Amino acid sequence: MGIVIHSYAKRWQGRYSSLKNPPFNTPLDVLDHVRGLGVGSLQIGVKGWSSELAGDVRDTRESYGLKLEGSITLPKNEADVSRFEKELRLGKEAGAVIFRSALGGRRYEDFASLDAFKAFKDAAWRSMQLAEPVARRHRVRIGIENHKDFHATELVEMLTRLSSPHIGCTLDTGNSIALLEHPVAVVEALAPFVVTTHIKDMAVQECAEGFLLSEVPLGEGILDLPRLLDLIEKANPEVEHHLEMITREPLLIPCLKEDYWATFPDKPGSMLARTLTMVKARKAEKLPSVKNRGLEDQLVFEEENIVKCLQHAGEKLGFDSIQVRKTADKDEK
């Protein structure tokens, strides 16, 4: 299993760090660290890279036997295409032929009206159109993440309309719960377009405004990960899976507030009923929290959650485990 840089939201680029848990200032720092965890791939942003850094990343990851996927922002307009192409080229120099991208943020927080969302959707479609010939020219594939912005069916429609082998989906196993979508239905819809993945498990709790949604270590949440992985791999047996274990405060999904529904005029009430029934039936006793933890404790907690996920992936989901990599390193010595 690979890992997404968002799993290190605390330490990446020195946002939080300590002597015991030093910051990851560059991709090289991240590669050095995750190699010891036995991951197979790193998915990381390429914004701001130089050709020298791309070369260093390539040499380092090759020496460690790791794969690389880039994370990139699609061009916003014609003037932004040159920036996009430069970042794509630098990522490819480092060895990435798969790139993850996202078109927006949390739909229910970012847009106060349907018209505002429609304008965003039009701009997102234009970005995809601008990105496609560049991706085709460089012979890379870009996966657009289901990022709490589009319903699975909306993203499927856009990908089908674009109809390019170079633009597909970064399939996140947990995000779409925030839009009241069933995880299995989301994966079934998007799997035919899958380019890469964000693998996570999720836990939920009831609250007055709707429910709380939180990433939790793999195997501790509500997702049927073996089934989801099977659906993805049947669609693309070559896909690389990447852990996204974000250690943070639970997200509020305010689906019982009127504002939440501003951009969902046709969403059936049955989706709300089904989701809230699921939340009530499968609510967690406790969700992860960082707000009352000191800095060092937060950093340790983040690492512990990642390690738990990788161990579960090895022991229960068929991936190489941390123990396997350490044993192999020992044997080599």
**What digits encode the pLDDT tens for the residues 205-221?**
999 999 999 999 999 99
Chain mean pLDDT for the chain: 94
Q: Which two tokens stand for residue 197?
A: 């993945």
Distances (CA, A) of 230 to 16, 175, 283: 36, 19, 25
Do residues 176 and 198 make contact, with C-beta atoms less than 8 angstroms apart?
Answer: no
Q: What number is the average pLDDT over the span 256-266?
A: 96
* pLDDT tier at 322, thresholds 50, 70, 90: low
Residue scoring higher pLDDT (258 or 321): 258
Express each pLDDT in 66-75 by its tens digit: 999 999 999 9
At residue 329, the pLDDT reads: 47
* pLDDT tier at 17, thresholds 50, 70, 90: confident
Name the strands in the sheet holding 201-207, side by side, starting at the edge strand that comes first in the sequence: 201-207, 210-216, 251-253
Q: What number is the average pLDDT over the span 313-319?
A: 95
Express each pLDDT in 146-187 by its tens digit: 999 999 999 999 999 999 999 999 999 999 999 999 999 999
Q: Which two tokens stand for residue 149?
A: 């912005």
Do residues 76 and 127 make contact, with C-beta atoms less than 8 angstroms apart?
Answer: yes
At residue 327, the pLDDT reads: 40
* pLDDT tier at 229, thresholds 50, 70, 90: very high
Pick the closest to residue 131 from 142, 121, 120 (CA basis): 142
Pick the closest to residue 202 from 168, 238, 239, 173 (CA basis): 173
Q: Which two tokens stand for residue 188?
A: 């079934």
Backbone conformation region of residue 250, classed left if phi is above 0, alpha if psi is from -120 to 50, else beta: beta
Q: Where are the domains of the chain?
A: 2-201+216-248+289-327
At residue 330, the pLDDT reads: 44
CATH for the 2-201+216-248+289-327 domain, from 3.30.70.20, 3.20.20.150, 3.30.565.10, 3.40.50.150: 3.20.20.150
Q: What number is the average pLDDT over the span 256-270?
A: 96
| DSSP 8-state code for residue 73 | P
Length of the chain: 333
Distance of alpha carbon 205 from alpha carbon 282, whole angstroms: 8
Q: Which two tokens stand for residue 172?
A: 């996140």
User: Is the pLDDT assigned to residue 1 strictly greater than 80?
Assistant: yes
Q: What is the pTM of this model?
A: 0.94
At residue 333, the pLDDT reads: 40
At residue 320, the pLDDT reads: 81
Q: What number is the average pLDDT over the span 261-290?
A: 96
